Structure 1
Amino acid sequence: MPAPRPDPFTPLPGAATPPPGAAPPGGALAERFGALRHLPALARLVYAASPRLLPASLALRLARASLPVLMLYVAKLILDAIVAEHARPHPVGLGLDAWTSDPALGRLAGLVALEFGLAILSDLLGRASGLVDGLVADRYGNAASLRLMRHAAALDLAQFEDAAQQDRLERARRQVTGRSNLLFQLFGQGQDLITLAAFAIGLAAYAPWLILLVALALVPAFLNETHFNRQGYRLAWTRTPERRQIDYLRTLGASVESAKEVKLFGLNGYIAERYAVLAEKLIADNRDLALRRAAWGGGFAALGTLAYYAAYATLVWRTAAGQFSIGDLAFLAGSFQRLRALIEGLLQGVSQIASGAQYLDDLFAFFALVPAIRSPAAPVPFPTPVTHGIVFSDVGFRYPGTDIWAVRHLDFHLRAGEVLALVGENGAGKTTIVKLLTRLYDPTEGRVLLDGRPLADYDLDDLRGRIGVIFQDFVRFNLTAGQNVAVGRIEARDDPERITRAAGRSLADAVIDRLPLAYDQPLGKLFAEGVDLSGGQWQKIALSRAYMREAEILILDEPTAALDARAEFEVFRRFRDLGRGRTAVLISHRFSTVRMADRILVLDGGRVLESGTHAELQAKGGRYAELFELQAAGYR
Structure 2
Amino acid sequence: MTDLPGRRPPPAEKPPSFRERLDNLRHLGRLIAQIWRTSAPLTAASIGLRLVAALQPIAMLYVGKLIVDEVVRLTGLTAPGPTFADWWGSGALTTIVLLLGLELALVLGSDLLNRIIGLVDSVLAELHSNTVSVELMAHAARLDLVHFESAEYQDRLERARRQAAGRNALLSQMFGQAQDIITVATLAAGLFVYAPWLILLLPLSFVPAVWGEARFNTLAYMISRWRTPERRELEYIRQVGASAETAKEIKLFGLGDFLITRFKTLAERIFQDNRRIALQRSFWGALFSAISTLTYYGAYGFIVWRTITGDFTIGDLAFLSGSFLRLNGLFQKLLLGFTQIAGQSMYLDDLFSFFEITPNITSPAQPRPFPEPIRHGIVFEDVGFRYPDTDSWALRHLSFTLTAGETLALVGENGAGKTTIVKLLTRLYDPDEGRITIDGIDLKDFAVADIHAHIGVIFQDFIRYSLSARENIGVGRVDEQHDMARIGDAAERSLADAVIAKLPKGYDQPLGRLFNKGRDLSGGEWQKVAIARAYMRDAGLIILDEPTAALDAKAEAEVFARFKSLASGKTAVIISHRFSTVRMADRILVLEHGGILESGSHEELLAQRGRYAELFELQAAGYR
For 1:197, the equivalent position in structure 2 comes to 185
For 2:102, the equivalent position in structure 1 comes to 114
Q: Is the 8 A contact 2:395 2:595 kept in 1?
A: yes
In the alignment, structure 1 residue 247 sits paired with structure 2 residue 212: no
User: Which of 364, 372, 375 matches 1:387?
Assistant: 375
User: Which of 327, 331, 341 matches 2:329?
Assistant: 341
User: How far apart in 2 are the matches of 1:94 and 1:557?
Assistant: 98
SS in 1 for 2:573: strand
For 1:264, the equivalent position in structure 2 comes to 252
CA offset digits 1:369-414 (Å, max 9, x no partner)? 1100011111111112212211111111111111121111111111
For 1:532, the equivalent position in structure 2 comes to 520
For 1:332, the equivalent position in structure 2 comes to 320
Q: Give the superposition deviation at 1:449.
A: 1.3
User: How far apart in 1 are the matches of 2:308 and 2:581?
Assistant: 103
Give the partner amino acid of 1:383.
Answer: P
Closer, same or farther: CA 284–93 of 1 in aligned 2, 3 Å: farther
User: Which of 357, 361, 365 matches 1:369?
Assistant: 357
Q: Give the superposition deviation at 1:90.
A: 2.2
With the length of structure 2 as denominator, give the TM-score of the two structures. Answer: 0.97
For 2:463, the equivalent position in structure 1 comes to 475
Q: Give the superposition deviation at 1:488.
A: 0.8
RMSD between superposed Cα atoms in Å = 1.4
User: Which of 604, 613, 617 matches 1:629?
Assistant: 617
User: Which of 28, 40, 48 matches 1:39?
Assistant: 28
Q: Is the 8 A contact 1:473 1:559 kept in 2?
A: no
Closer, same or farther: CA 54–609 of 1 in aligned 2, 3 Å: same
With the length of structure 1 as denominator, give the TM-score of the two structures. Answer: 0.95
Deviates more, 1:106-115 or 1:117-126: 106-115
Q: Is the 8 A contact 1:98 1:105 kept in 2?
A: no
- Structure 1 alignment gaps of length 5 or more: 1-20
Q: Is the 8 A contact 1:182 1:353 kept in 2?
A: yes
User: How far apart in 2 are the matches of 1:223 and 1:475?
Assistant: 50
User: Which of 146, 164, 169 matches 2:157?
Assistant: 169
In the alignment, structure 1 residue 55 sits paired with structure 2 residue 47: no
Q: Give the superposition deviation at 1:99.
A: 4.8
For 1:83, the equivalent position in structure 2 comes to 72
Q: Give the superposition deviation at 1:180.
A: 4.1
Q: Give the superposition deviation at 1:631.
A: 0.8
CA offset digits 1:441-495 (Å, max 9, x no partner)? 1112121111112111111100111000001000000011111111111111111
CA offset digits 1:66-88 (Å, max 9, x no partner)? 11111111111111111222222
In the alignment, structure 1 residue 133 sits paired with structure 2 residue 121: yes
> Matches of residues 279-290 of structure 1 in structure 2 within 5 Å?
279-290=267-278
In the alignment, structure 1 residue 295 sits paired with structure 2 residue 278: no
For 1:509, the equivalent position in structure 2 comes to 497
User: How far apart in 2 are the matches of 1:30 and 1:377?
Assistant: 39
User: How far apart in 2 are the matches of 1:135 and 1:224?
Assistant: 33
In the alignment, structure 1 residue 233 sits paired with structure 2 residue 232: no
User: How far apart in 2 are the matches of 1:98 and 1:510?
Assistant: 95
User: How far apart in 2 are the matches of 1:117 and 1:227?
Assistant: 42
Q: Is the 8 A contact 1:465 1:551 kept in 2?
A: yes
User: How far apart in 2 are the matches of 1:156 and 1:58?
Assistant: 40
Q: Give the superposition deviation at 1:627.
A: 0.6
Q: Is the 8 A contact 2:386 2:394 kept in 1?
A: yes
User: How far apart in 2 are the matches of 1:30 and 1:61?
Assistant: 31
SS in 2 for 1:393: strand
Q: Give the superposition deviation at 1:526.
A: 0.6
Closer, same or farther: CA 123–25 of 1 in aligned 2, 3 Å: farther
In the alignment, structure 1 residue 68 sits paired with structure 2 residue 57: yes
Q: Give the superposition deviation at 1:158.
A: 0.4
For 2:17, the equivalent position in structure 1 comes to 28
CA offset digits 1:122-164 (Å, max 9, x no partner)? 0010000000001111111111111111110000010111000
Q: Is the 8 A contact 1:375 1:459 kept in 2?
A: yes
For 1:13, the equivalent position in structure 2 comes to none
User: How far apart in 2 are the matches of 1:35 and 1:317?
Assistant: 47
User: How far apart in 1 are the matches of 2:13 and 2:102?
Assistant: 53
Q: Is the 8 A contact 1:79 1:327 kept in 2?
A: yes
CA offset digits 1:588-622 (Å, max 9, x no partner)? 11111111100000011111000000111011000
Closer, same or farther: CA 597–270 of 1 in aligned 2, 3 Å: same
User: How far apart in 2 are the matches of 1:42 and 1:314?
Assistant: 44
Q: Give the superposition deviation at 1:25.
A: 8.0
Q: Is the 8 A contact 1:46 1:180 kept in 2?
A: no
Deviates more, 1:319-328 or 1:607-616: 319-328
In the alignment, structure 1 residue 103 sits paired with structure 2 residue 91: yes
Equivalenced residue count is 615
Percent of pairs with identical residues = 58
Give the partner amino acid of 1:66.
Answer: L
Closer, same or farther: CA 550–336 of 1 in aligned 2, 3 Å: same
For 2:305, the equivalent position in structure 1 comes to 317
